[in-house]
Structure 1
C-alpha cells in the first residue's frame, strides 16, 4: 500500500492556500480589465510586456494543490492554466508534414534584423501607447488598400497578447504563430527571455512554410527568419 503524502503544517497550508486564491482572484480581475479595456489603458498595456511571467506561480501552486488534495483550489487554478493554453498552446503544436501532392511553387526566405539604432524617447508612457495605436490604424489602412502580396518585417514593440497585435492580425498573418515553435523570445535579458516583439507578417496570398528565431545579431533583439511560399 502506497502511503499518502504527509500533510503539511496547517499554518503553512493555510498560508499557501490563501496566496493561491489571491493569485486566482487577481488574475480574474486582470482578465476582466483586459476584456473591457485591452490596450486603451497604458498601465494595463504595460502588463502585456511581462504577461508570460504572470503564469509562473502556476509552477508552484499547481503541484501544491495536487499533492495536498486541494481540489477546489486545483479547479480555481485551472482558470489561469486554461488562459495560458489559449495564449500559447498553439506555439507548441507539432507542424504537420506536407502531403505528397503538395508542391511548393516558389519560395522566399526573409529575415528581420535590428541594427541597434536608438529608439526615439517618449517621456510619458500613455503617449507611447496612443502613438502605437494610431500607427496600427494607419498600417491597417495601408494593407487594406494594397493590390499585391505583402510582407512586413518589423520591430513592432508589442507582444502577441496585446490589442495592437490582435488588430494587426486581422489584416496579416504572423509567420511564427503559424509555423514557429516555442515562445520565440526576440528580446532576451541576461538570464531569460523578455518577449516576442519582432515579427514577420504576410498577407493571405502567401503561405508560411517555416519560421524561427536565429541567434546572434548586432543588438539586444534577435533576428526572426521565415520561409514563405509565393
Structure 2
C-alpha cells in the first residue's frame, strides 16, 4: 500500500511569511503550490518550486479565486469562461516558474472556496476541467471523493486523485466542516496520525493533505508520516515526472 502526502505551500507574500515550507518539503511527496491568485508572490513561488525540485517533491498548481484579501476562502460568482481563463493563467504562470528551476507542474488542485464549491457546483467544476484541457498536457486533478469535479474530469478522460484531509473534520455526508465552525480543524498530531492510519487502512483516498498554514503543521506532518511508515505504508507521490 502507498499513500501520497501533500501540503499547501508557497503562500507567503512579500515580507509576510506563512508556514514553514522548507520543513514541510522534507516530509511530503507533493506540494500544492499557490499560483498568486489567493496567495504567494512570484519570487516566493519560484523558491518553493526550486526547493521542491531539489527534494524530488512533485509540484501541483493550487488554483483559486482571484482573492488575495480573502485568501481564496470566499465564494466568487464568476462566469465559466472567466474562471476557466483564470485557472489556465495560474497553471501557465506556475509551470513557467517551475520550469525555470528544472521542474514542471504535475497536477492540479483547487484551493479554499473553489475546492469546496466544485464539490457540487457543476458549472465551476466544468470550468476547472476545461482549463486543464486547454493547458494541453495531462494533469491529474485532485479533489474530494464523490465531487462533481472528479466526476466531470473522468467524463473528459482526465486522471483523478481522491484526497483525504487529516487535519480537518468532515460532515456526515463527507463534506469538510466549515472553517468557521469550532470543530473544523484538528491540531493534535496524535489524533491526525490515527485518522490518517485508519483512512489508509480503509483506502479512503489516494493522497492525504496537511495544510501548511495549520498550527503545528510540521509536527503533524512528521507524526503522520512516521505513523504510516511504521504501519508498513509506503509514502510516495501519485505522479511520476
TM over 0.5: no
- Higher alpha-carbon Rg: 1
Q: Normalising by structure 2, report the TM-score.
A: 0.27
Q: Normalising by structure 1, report the TM-score.
A: 0.28
Structure showing the higher helix proportion among its residues: 1
